[in-house]
Amino acid sequence: LRNSTNEKINLIFTDAPGEWFDHWRNNTGGESSKGAKWIHENSNAFLLFADCEMLCGEERGIAKLQINSVADRLLEYIH
């Protein structure tokens, strides 16, 4: 893409496993959270997606906790 001054802007979308972010939200320095940590350190933005079926089902409480925990972790590192 190009911005208004015709500078080139690169976009990269990652499809990281949710488990990476589950580990990262609990322990940012842990071995299992390295992938999520790398993505966070090298990105300018996040799109946070939720599993609608999980939110509507019996695991609603777990889904809400996971979403809120990841969102809270992202808020901690906003510069």
Whether 7 is covered by a domain: the verdict is no
Q: Is the pLDDT of residue 69 over 70?
A: yes
Whether 8 is covered by a domain: the verdict is no
Whether 9 is covered by a domain: the verdict is no
Q: Report how many domains make up the chain.
A: 1
Whether 64 is covered by a domain: the verdict is yes
CA-based radius of gyration for the chain: 15
Which helix (H) or strand (E) segment holds residue 17: the answer is: none
Query: Containing domain of residue 24, as a range?
Result: 18-76
Whether 6 is covered by a domain: the verdict is no
Tokens of 21: 């972010």
Whole-model pTM: value is 0.65
From CA 73, how far away is CA 54, in angstroms rounded?
A: 21
Q: State pLDDT tens for residues 4-38.
A: 999 998 888 888 888 888 888 888 888 998 998 88
Whether 37 is covered by a domain: the verdict is yes
